[in-house]
């Protein structure tokens, strides 16, 4: 570990030199890459600096103790040695975590897509509730949110909703939410008191810059139509709604939330880039992990990740085999215990894999 950290310190110094070179500002993509790498390793470098200082002090105090005759000074040295010996193991564990591979998307803003799946109106109802829970959680943590697109079912519930969450570490907090969320409860329309099972899908997509995903306009089909206000009440007199289709993949994006065609167009292209980025990431992950899926499972968004059982007041995250109570609070945005538990489990799995040399 010491060798790895010494190498990291040297790399950090090199990155600082690159950022101080005026030439780097000629290449915006390069400066982002260098700045992002510096930012990702800085916590480990700072921890290692603290660790080295403490370890050096420990060794010096041990040497002084062996030579010191004054009993009062010896007691003081023993106390400092004891404190350092207590802190060092904790710092070593923090360093192990800091050295784990970082997700390059962790510090990005995100685009969240919540879509009703099986279960008809009940699924649409839950899709709206889950989206509201995410937005409330984001606001609890002082993130900025903005709804980009919302499609309603015939009953007026949410068929699909797309919204942005802007904050420095938005992806790191929400990335464990991608997948199928299943709900078990008695629908409002159920007259015989039977529990129904419905599902919604959630996609968490990191916001991608234009230089990261270059779109070939020859592969994009774009058209403009009139947008409508909430509940289809207010027709826009201009063709401000933007429809995009990526011909090679069939990905479709509609953005009609704003009355400005220009703003809707920018948002639509941002969502398209994020969807293409996620598609590429999933394909790369599939290729890398295919041999291990049967052993460790995947966190692919097509898998059922969580069940919300309302009659039993229980939320089960199937990836970590952990239950959480208090569904009313969870649906009001109190998601911290679930999200933190997923992050800890992911971190522990990475530490175990690192210990096996994988």
Summarised one tens digit per residue, pLDDT across range 254-270 is 887 666 777 888 888 88
- 148 in any annotated domain: yes
Judge if 339 and 257 occupy the same domain: yes
Angle ∠(227,233,238) on CA atoms, nearest 5: 30
Same domain, yes or no, for 92 and 117? no
pLDDT for res 288: 46
Q: What is the pLDDT of residues 156-202, one digit of tens each?
A: 788 899 999 998 789 999 999 999 999 999 877 666 778 889 999 99
In a shared domain, residues 38 and 166: no
Tell whether 265 is covered by a domain.
yes
Q: Which of 1-5, 186-190, 233-237 has the highest mean pLDDT?
A: 186-190
pLDDT attached to residue 61: 93
Is residue 234 located within the same domain as residue 308? yes
Classify residue 103: in a domain, yes or no: no
Q: Alpha-carbon distance 69 to 71, whole Å?
A: 6
Beta-ladder partners of 314: 309, 325
Residues 205 and 228 grouped into a single domain = yes
Whether residue 118 sits in one domain with residue 18: no
Q: What is the mean pLDDT of residues 141-160?
A: 86
Q: Which two tokens stand for residue 223?
A: 């058209």
Q: Which of 45, 78, 98 is the last residue of a domain?
A: 98
Specify if 354 maps to a domain.
no
Residue ending a domain, choose from 49, 70, 98: 98
**pLDDT at position 187:** 78
CA gyration radius for the chain?
Answer: 26
Angle at 89 between CA 84 and CA 94, to 5 degrees: 115
pLDDT of 248 over the 80 cut: yes
| Residue 127 in domain | yes
The three-state (H, E, C) secondary structure of 159-186, written as one string: EEEEEEEECCCHHHHHHHHCEEEEEEEC
Q: Are residues 53 and 148 in the same domain?
A: no
* Residue 104, in any domain of the structure: no
Domain final residue pick, 77, 98, 119: 98
What is the rounded average pLDDT for all residues in the chain?
A: 83
Is-contact 79 73, C-beta < 8 A?
A: no
Q: Is 340 found in the same domain as 201?
A: yes
What is the edge-to-edge ordering of all strands in the sheet holding 220-225? 220-225, 241-246, 251-255
Model confidence band, residue 342 (pLDDT cutoffs 50, 70, 90):
very high
Residue 91 is assigned to a structural domain of this protein: yes
- Looking at the structure, tell me whether residues 59 and 150 fall in a common domain: no
| Predicted TM-score of the model (pTM) | 0.71
The model's confidence at residue 233, banded by pLDDT at 50, 70 and 90, is very low
Distance CA 206, CA 29 (A): 17
**Which of 56-70, 74-88, 159-173, 291-305 is least confident?**
291-305
Say how far residue 55 (Cα) sits from the centre of its chain: 35
Q: Nearest Cα to 110, choosing from 167, 31, 72? A: 167
Long-range contacts of the stretch 227-236 (C-beta < 8 A, 24+): 227/256, 227/257, 227/258, 227/259, 227/264, 228/256, 231/152, 231/156
159 and 245 both lie in a single domain: yes
> Domain count of the chain?
2
Q: Do 73 and 173 fall within a single domain?
A: no
List CB contacts of 170: < 8 A, sequence separation 6 or more.
108, 109, 110, 138, 143
**358 inside domain:** no
Distances (CA, A) of 10 to 4, 5, 6, 181, 232: 10, 9, 6, 45, 59
Same domain (yes/no): 93, 199: no
- Which two tokens mark 260? 């400005």
CATH for 269: 3.30.70.1660
Question: Residue 286 belongs to what domain range?
Answer: 110-349
Q: Which one, of 234, 271, 273, lies nearest residue 254 by Cα?
A: 271
In this prediction, residue 50 has a pLDDT band, given cuts at 50, 70 and 90, of: very high
Q: Which residue has better confidence, 47 or 230? A: 47
């Amino acid at each position: 570990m010491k060798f790895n950290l010494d190498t990291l310190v040297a790399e950090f110094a090199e990155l600082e030199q690159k950022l101080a070179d005026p030439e780097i500002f000629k290449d915006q993509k390069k400066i982002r890459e260098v700045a992002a790498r510096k930012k990702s390793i800085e916590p480990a470098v700072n921890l290692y600096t603290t660790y080295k200082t403490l370890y050096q002090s420990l060794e010096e105090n041990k040497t002084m103790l062996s030579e010191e005759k004054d009993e009062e000074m010896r007691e003081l040295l023993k106390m400092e040695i004891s404190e350092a010996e207590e802190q060092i193991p904790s710092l070593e564990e923090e360093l192990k975590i800091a050295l784990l591979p970082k997700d390059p998307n962790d510090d990005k803003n995100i685009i969240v897509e919540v879509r009703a799946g099986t279960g008809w109106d009940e699924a649409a109802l839950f899709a709206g509730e889950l989206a509201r829970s995410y937005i409330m959680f984001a606001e609890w943590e002082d993130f900025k949110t903005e709804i980009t697109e919302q499609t309603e079912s015939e009953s007026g519930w949410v068929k699909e909703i797309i919204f942005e969450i802007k904050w420095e570490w938005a992806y790191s907090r929400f990335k464990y939410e991608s997948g199928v969320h299943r709900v078990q409860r008695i629908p409002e329309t159920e007259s015989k008191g039977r529990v129904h099972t419905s599902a919604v899908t959630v996609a968490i997509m990191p916001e991608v810059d234009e230089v990261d995903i270059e779109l070939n306009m020859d592969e994009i089909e774009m058209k403009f139509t009139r947008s409508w206000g909430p509940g289809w009440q207010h027709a826009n007199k201009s063709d401000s709604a933007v429809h995009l289709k990526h011909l090679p993949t069939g990905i479709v994006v509609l953005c009609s939330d704003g009355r400005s065609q220009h703003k809707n167009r920018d948002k639509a292209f941002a969502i398209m880039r994020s969807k293409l980025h996620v598609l590429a990431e999933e394909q790369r992950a599939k290729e890398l992990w295919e041999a291990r899926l049967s052993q460790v499972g995947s966190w692919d968004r097509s898998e059922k990740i969580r069940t919300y059982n309302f009659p039993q007041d229980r939320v089960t995250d199937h990836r970590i085999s952990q239950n959480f109570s208090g569904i009313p609070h969870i649906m009001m945005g109190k998601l911290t215990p679930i999200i933190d538990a997923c992050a800890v489990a992911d971190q522990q799995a990475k530490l175990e894999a690192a210990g096996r040399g994988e």
